[in-house]
């Protein structure tokens, strides 16, 4: 806080003078804001349409992988098993 200089009486001088003695100015500390929190990781599974299935049961997906949101009740479960191949 900066205030007006204070008036002091000259002591220890041969004459009776009044003089201004400025108050010391202290800088404010530098404020460093905390870093923003990172968003929680998304829980997703990777699904392939051809051949149909989920990673890692289907290892390659020529058409590209789709991300499928994992349902909250399914977070601790593995993705569904791949379908059984048709009989020969």
Q: Where are the domains of the chain?
A: 44-74
- In 3D space, the residue among 3, 22, 2, 19 whose CA is nearest the CA of residue 11 turns out to be 19
Amino acid 16: pLDDT: 60
29 vs 11, more confident? 29
pLDDT digits (tens, 9 = 90+) for 25-71: 888 888 888 988 888 777 888 999 989 988 888 889 999 999 988 87
Query: pTM higher than 0.75 for the full model?
Result: no
Residue 11 pLDDT exceeds 70: no
Q: Decide which of 8 and 40 is more confident.
A: 40
Query: What does the alpha-carbon distance between residue 11 and residue 20 come to, in Å, rounded to a whole number?
Result: 13
């Amino acid at each position: 806080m900066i205030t007006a200089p204070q008036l002091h009486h000259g002591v220890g001088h041969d004459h009776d003078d009044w003089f201004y003695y400025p108050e010391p100015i202290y800088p404010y500390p530098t404020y460093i804001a905390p870093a923003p929190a990172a968003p929680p990781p998304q829980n997703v599974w990777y699904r392939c349409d051809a051949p149909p299935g989920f990673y890692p049961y289907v290892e390659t997906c020529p058409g590209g992988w789709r991300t499928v949101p994992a349902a909250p009740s399914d977070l601790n479960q593995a993705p569904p098993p791949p379908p059984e191949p048709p009989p020969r």
